[in-house]
Amino acid sequence: MTKSPIALTNSRYRLGYHVAAPIGWINDPNGFCHFKGYYHIFYQHHPYSAEWGPMHWGHARSKDLVHWESLPIGLEPGSPEDKDGCFSGSAIVKDDIMYLFYTGHHYYNDGDPDYFWQNQNMAYSEDGIHFTKYENNPIIDKEPEDNTHHFRDPKVWEHEGTYYMILGSQENDGLGRAILYASQDLKAWDYLGSVSKATDLKGEGFMWECPDFFHLDGKDILLLSPQGIDPQEEKYLNLYQTGYFVGEIDYQTAKFTRGEFHELDKGHDFYATQTTLAPDGRRIVFGWMAMWESHMPEKEDGWAGALTLPRELRLKDGKLVMTPVKELEALRVDEGKTETLTVSDATLIAKDASHAEILFSLPTTDATLTFKDAQEQDILSLVYTAETNKFVLRRNDTDEARYGTIQANDTLKYHLFIDTSSVEIFINDGETVFTERYYSESKPAVYLTTANETSVEITVYQLKADAVTYP
């Protein structure tokens, strides 16, 4: 394992209020939980380069979901049970101890990265900073007999006195699925079987990564990241998807009866979600703000990838909606500037918007939101067509558009968070969300264009550029 130090060489794209690693690569969020007064978030991390490598668990914590303190690495690979990587997993708190569950990754040393095996392991901590790997790891040493070697990403929860672990996997027939285990003590686990499986390869995928399972607003939700779904016109256009099934689980039979798959976020840069239950009962979610095989110019600067803002999940009309958590109001460094503009042709609504929150509503009409650089070249645009209730997002660094729709409504509500090289766009209280990374050497100017002359009240807040503390 290479352990040469890497340095942050340029901060041109560095984010100001999103969780990222001090240096190096990150991907999936892991171990999201609330423990002894802090929210803890871990993430897949390679600290020795800005490329994917032997996975560690990076770590940050926050008292308020806004101000994050980067902590020492939580898990390092190299033990017999996780020789080639500590892959994704989750956390649960029991008796004032934080338990981490993670996948141990192992290669056969034949040079083939697709030839590997995986097991499930546990670590624990009394202070939430220093972790000890369980002496009897692995807690699950191999996949079920009807499973391929794809067997990872444990999410653990408690239900009526029993602990359950859901894992992403692939059945021997090549279809993705989620499988379930049960335990009374978090150490000895019994296999219960497959809770749900892809109905077909092209429609629901060959591997279900990063499963998360929870009860919300009267329904059970299986949130996951299927791999191998074919693009379908304006859906499933990322390399891999993140979305959910709504249904009901029967804990006696370990079967999940569910509806169709829905994408959770319509942007280019969203994958591998993980949720936790906040102390006040809200279901909060993080995602990886990137996508496999995406172009990441920040690699040249000694880092790659970040997590999204924390978002609250709710179920509305049978579908999940996402909104930024209310705590993010603490990012504001001013009282905001509110003005009423008459908009038709391209109208400037925010200048030098490198760390900004923008809110506005307008009567439903064709509308275009555009980010421009200092040379007035488009960075990205979001076009809404009222006749079809459709949004089309385009970026200057890719020919591939992304699409979202909303229900017919008299009002369009926009809520934007801009952070150096990212924007998260929430439309109509999270009915449609676009998460995007973009790269510009200048601070963007934001313009609004409408088909008809429209009076729009717009509020712009400047946000903190130093909400994450690094060592």
Q: Please confirm, yes or no, whether 112 is among the known catalytic residues.
A: no
- For 39, phi then psi, to 5°, come to -80, 135
User: DSSP labels for 8-71?
Assistant: ----TT--SSS---SSEEEEEEEEEEEETTEEEEEEEEETT-SS--S-EEEEEEESSSSSEEEE
Instruction: Report CA 196 to chain centroid distance, whole Å.
Output: 22
CA dihedral 270, 276, 282, 283 (to 10 degrees): 40
Distance of alpha carbon 152 from alpha carbon 89, whole angstroms: 8
Q: Which residue among the candidates 28, 265, 269, 301 is catalytic per the annotation?
A: 28
Alpha carbons 368 and 345: distance in angstroms, whole number? 10
Amino acid (1-letter code) at residue 65: L
- Sign of the alpha-carbon dihedral angle for 338, 339, 345, 348: negative
Residue written as tokens 């239900």? Answer: 159
Question: Partners of 70 in the beta sheet?
Answer: 60
289, 293, 297, 299 alpha-carbon torsion, rounded to 10° = 90
Q: Nearest-CA neighbor of 457 among 358, 385, 372?
A: 358
The contacts of residue 183 (CB under 8 Å, 6+ apart) are 162, 163, 164, 165, 189, 190
Question: Do you find a cis peptide bond into 138, omega within 30 degrees of 0?
Answer: yes
Torsion sign (Cα): 237, 421, 32, 49:
positive
- SS3 assignment, position 427: strand
The catalytic site residues sit at 28
